[in-house]
Structure 1
Amino acid sequence: MSVTTARPTTAPVLTRRADIGVWTLQIVLALFFAIPSAAPKLVGHSSAAQSFDAIGFGDWFMYLVGALELAGAIGLVTPVLSGVSALALIGLMAGAVVTQLTFLDGQYWFTPVIFAALLAVVARTRRHRTAELLGLVRRRM
């Protein structure tokens, strides 16, 4: 019988400057996902509606994606949710790449890739927050 011990979930050692840099990145990403990305979808702006009509899913999907982007933006600036929100938004960006290449002209496929790479920096740096959240969920169960 083997005995496994759980490793402590300690925060990665970051300099103050690096921590401020990651927080700045989180805020900039949150602003992007909330304002120019989610807002047009949530208000049903014609530019967003045209793109989602081309996909073929209709308005409900546009509102869903807008709500997910807004939730992710809020999560990016909520300490305990920052890591898992970055991971969720990476998933959303993967869907955006597939959508760009499959349903749209594919001209801007690289944009969600760039955002996914930036979100990966946040997810990696804030992985201790994800572990902390998982621990909180497990204790509640």
Structure 2
Amino acid sequence: MAIYPVSPTQRRIVWGVRILLALAFCAAGIAKLASALQMVQIFDAIGFGQWFRYLTGAVEVLGAVLLLVPATGFIGGLLLTSTMVCGVATHLMLIGGTPMPAVVLGLLSAFVAWRQRPVSRLAAAA
């Protein structure tokens, strides 16, 4: 597999977004895993049980780590995009409040996944 050629500026932008996302998701995941009061209350409102908070926190931390490893940035981006799609749906259907933070994080994660996507040699040569 190959990747599309990118300028140094584009590479820096993608890395900047990856680092920003890793920090945000790591902080959110650690808050969930550490049983921060606000996270416990939110997951009580969701109604799936506190095991779901631990699962979500672990997925967010794992996704943050995957974003920072060059070979797994695509997988991390996809994992966190799908997590944020579920977060937006949860806000809209279960707990209320604004889904905008999840929308922004989801779009940024999708951007990273798209920029890190694997492409075939034929597509790269075109």
Fold in common (TM above 0.5)? yes
- 1:121 & 1:103 partners in 2: Cα distance? 27
Q: Distance in 1 between matches of 2:65 and 2:98?
A: 25
2:36 is the alignment partner of 1:56: no
What amino acid maps onto 2:60 in structure 1? Answer: E
Structure 2's unaligned 5+ residue stretches are: 121-126
Please provide the CA RMSD for this pair: 1.3
The residue type equivalent to 1:63 in the other structure is: Y
- Can you give the 5+ residue segments of structure 1 that lack an aligned partner in the other structure? 1-8, 132-141
Deviation at 1:110, TM superposition (A): 2.0
Regions of 4+ moved over 3 Å? none
The answer to whether the aligner puts 1:76 opposite 2:77 as a matched pair is no
Q: CA deviation at 1:58?
A: 1.6
Question: In the alignment, does 2:80 pair up with 1:89?
Answer: yes
Q: How many angstroms apart in 2 are the aligned matches of 1:115 and 1:28?
A: 10
Distance 1:120 1:47 in 2: 27
2-side partners of 1:124 and 1:90: how far apart? 11
Aligned to 1:117: 107
Residue from 6, 12, 17 that aligns with 1:20: 12
Supply the distance in 2 between the matched residues of 1:45 and 1:116 (Cα, whole angstroms).
23
Residues of 2 paired with 1:56 and 1:121: CA distance? 31
Q: SS of the counterpart of 1:103?
A: helix
**1:111 partner amino acid:** P
Query: What TM-score results when the alignment is normalised by the length of structure 1?
Result: 0.81
* In the alignment, structure 1 residue 103 sits paired with structure 2 residue 94: yes
TM-score, with structure 2 as normaliser: 0.90
Task: Tell me how far apart the structure 2 counterparts of residues 55 and 119 of structure 1 sit (CA, whole Å).
Answer: 23
Could you say what secondary structure the match of 1:11 adopts?
Answer: coil
